[in-house]
Structure formats: C-alpha cells, structure tokens
Structure 1
Amino acid sequence: MKVVPGASRSEMSGWLGDMLKIRVPAPPENGKANAAVEALLAEKLGVPRSAVTIIAGKVAQRKVVEIQGLSLSEVMGKLKLGDKRA
C-alpha cells in the first residue's frame, strides 16, 4: 500500500496499480502516520486495532501490512475494493 500522510482526512483513495492508496491526516513523525493507517484499516475491517500491523516500510510511503484473522479475499470483500484496480 502507499500511504500519504498529512492529508485533510483519513480515507482509502483507491488503487495505484496493485497497491492500495491510503491518506491519513497524521504527520509522518514518531510513527503517528503508521498508527493512523493501522487504526483506519482496523476500523474498516471490523477487527481489533491489535490485529493490524505494518510489517515492512515503517519509514517509507510504501508499506506492507499484516492483518490477523482475515484472509486476503475477506479483506478485499470487507473493503469493497474487489477488482477496481487500475
């Protein structure tokens, strides 16, 4: 996924190729944007915040996230993103 910190609001902007683009208002300092991304994903997926972890790219815009308790197809279904990839 690609994260854009410092946005006006939290949102899932859609697809950039095979990457999900997420915007969060938190600044990219002291892990604030990462925490905002994890919280947004947990909320949208209906899982506890502790089930969502950024496992790669903590200091980069491109990140890899692990979501415990859900398969990829369940995540795609809950986010209603299906095949809307560009």
Structure 2
Amino acid sequence: MGHRLAVRVQPGGSADRIEGRGTDDAGRVFLKVRVRAQPEDGAANAAVQLTVAKALGVAKSAVQVVTGGKTRLKGLEIEGPPDLAGVIEGWLADERSAD
C-alpha cells in the first residue's frame, strides 16, 4: 500500500534526523527532515529517502521522492503496510491537540 508524505528538507545539517512537524504560510503540514548531504547530484534526496525509511523501518527502496526533486519541499511515496499510516499521522499530529 502506498502512503504520501510531504517533507521540508534542510540539507547540510549536522546529522540525518527527523525534526517533527511544520506548517507553511498556507497552513499545509509537512515533516521536517534534516540531512548532512548537500543538494548536489541527488545526494540530499537520497539521504531523505534513507532517513525516512530507517525511521519507518522499511527498505530504502520503499521511499521515493515523487515531487519537488530540486526544491526543499518534497512529496514522498512510501510503500509499506497499512499501519504505517498511523505512524505518519503521528509525526504530523498537532501536539496542542493532545491536551
């Protein structure tokens, strides 16, 4: 089953990690991902795919950048079991709504 995820990438970071949710000026929600790789020759895209795959416990090949290949805001397609949807929704949940 395929899952979609919007991410905003910060290349050139000190570590590869997921930093939580963010929103843009239009109110769209995305996952913030920091990677060490620079945005050259697809290195940052590959690092994003690997970072998200590791966090979800899926193969690197299960995560593909499908939109925004040359921009910081990207769309990912993730192949995996239906329960991944709950993990992704948890990443994007508004912490304030848990009160």
Q: Same fold (TM over 0.5)?
A: yes
Counterparts of 1:12-23 in structure 2, within 5 Å, are 12-17=18-23, 18-23=29-34
Structure 1 position 70, deviation (Å): 3.6
Which letter maps to 1:58? G
Which letter maps to 2:9? V
Q: String of CA shifts for 1:24-44, please: whole Å, max 9, x gaps.
A: 000000000000000011111
Q: Which has the larger radius of gyration?
A: 2
- Using structure 2 for the length normalisation, give the TM-score: 0.75
1:38 aligns with 2:36: no
Aligned equivalent of 1:27: 38
Decide whether the 8 Å contact of 2:35 with 2:44 is kept in 1. yes
| Separation in 2, partners of 1:22, 1:79 | 16
The structure where strand makes up a greater share of residues is 2
- Using structure 1 for the length normalisation, give the TM-score: 0.85
Root mean square deviation of aligned Cα? 2.1
1:4 aligns with 2:4: no
1:63 aligns with 2:69: no
